[in-house]
């Protein structure tokens, strides 16, 4: 059976982030992420990456793509602000072809269905979270999903706890900083079941997030 994993804010080769995370070098940092990935992901599994694969510098981004390509699983990307392929940037990515050779799907946001709930996906949290701890006012407001009462899985904030940063109580951070491992379907199901306030599935048809045919499974 295909397993689905979630992870964001890899920042491979990003020296500043590696040091914040307690690593002496970017090599040690990157190896820790690769080991965690290789420990659980099998060739037929799906890995949903929630953006910021590197610092965004061309050479580091190129190297990050090579690392991700070498790892098992089908990779899908929700692009972040540090990813040159993201739709927020004015110019096309010089690595666009390489991105599409690594990832089977690249979007700026998405959605899944789990525990009979529609869950939105984006690199960014709702604007009420800002940019995360000690990072000032939220940037990229015009590129964030509007908060219409739905559940949201995100990265970007680098929170060290999956839910502590959420003002709404309906957001789950899958940044590497929050988990230090790959996030599983079981982790997300447990989070959804723990919530006491969320919109019933039928309500989504009134705010335009569900297509006529709906969504049949978690992999979509």
- For the stretch 83-95, pLDDT in tens is 999 877 878 888 8
With a cut of 50, say whether residue 209 has pLDDT above it: no
pLDDT at position 137: 65
**Whole-angstrom distance, CA of residue 177 vs CA of residue 175:** 5
Under the banding of pLDDT at 50, 70 and 90, the label for residue 127 is confident
Whether the CB-CB separation of 93 and 85 falls below 8 Å is answered with yes
pLDDT at position 105: 96
Q: Mean pLDDT, the chain, as a whole number? A: 86
Which residue from 147, 8, 135 is spatially nearest to 83, judged by alpha carbons?
8
For residue range 39-53, list pLDDT tens digits in order: 999 999 999 999 999
**Higher confidence at residue 140 or residue 34?**
34
Contacts of 128 (CB under 8 A, 6+ apart): 147, 167, 168
φ and ψ of 106, to 5 deg: -130, 120
For residue range 144-163, list pLDDT tens digits in order: 888 888 999 999 888 899 99
Q: How many CA atoms lie within 13 A of 13 on its CB side?
A: 18
Share of the chain above pLDDT 70, in %: 84
Q: What is the pTM of this model?
A: 0.85
φ and ψ of 135, to 5 deg: -120, 10
pLDDT at position 116: 86
Under the banding of pLDDT at 50, 70 and 90, the label for residue 197 is low
pLDDT at position 140: 66
pLDDT at position 142: 74
Whether the CB-CB separation of 198 and 170 falls below 8 Å is answered with yes
| Domain architecture of the chain: domains with CATH | 4-206 (3.60.21.10)
**Higher confidence at residue 214 or residue 3?**
3
**Whole-angstrom distance, CA of residue 153 vs CA of residue 137:** 20
Average confidence (pLDDT) over 120-137: 77
**Whole-angstrom distance, CA of residue 142 vs CA of residue 156:** 15
**Whole-angstrom distance, CA of residue 21 vs CA of residue 10:** 11
pLDDT at position 53: 97
pLDDT at position 64: 97
**Whole-angstrom distance, CA of residue 144 vs CA of residue 157:** 13
């Amino acid at each position: 059976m295909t397993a689905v994993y979630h992870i964001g804010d890899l920042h491979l080769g990003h020296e500043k982030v590696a040091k914040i995370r307690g690593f002496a070098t970017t090599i040690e940092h990157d190896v820790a992420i690769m080991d965690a990935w290789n420990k659980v992901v099998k060739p037929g599994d799906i890995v949903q990456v929630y953006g910021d694969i590197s610092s965004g510098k061309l050479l580091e981004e190129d190297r990050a793509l090579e690392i991700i390509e070498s790892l098992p699983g089908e990779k899908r990307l929700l692009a972040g602000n540090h990813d040159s392929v993201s739709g927020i940037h004015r110019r096309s990515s010089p690595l666009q072809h390489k991105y599409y050779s690594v990832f089977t799907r690249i979007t700026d946001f998405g959605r899944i269905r789990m525990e009979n709930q529609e869950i939105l996906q984006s690199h960014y949290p709702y604007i009420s979270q800002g940019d995360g701890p000690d990072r000032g006012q939220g940037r990229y407001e015009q590129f964030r999903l509007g908060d219409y009462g739905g559940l949201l899985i995100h990265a970007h904030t680098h929170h060290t706890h999956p839910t502590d940063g959420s003002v709404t109580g309906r957001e789950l951070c899958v940044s590497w900083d929050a988990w230090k491992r790959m996030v599983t379907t079981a982790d997300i199901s447990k989070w959804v079941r723990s919530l006491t306030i969320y919109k019933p599935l039928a309500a989504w048809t009134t705010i335009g997030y569900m297509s006529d045919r709906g969504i049949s499974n978690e992999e979509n």
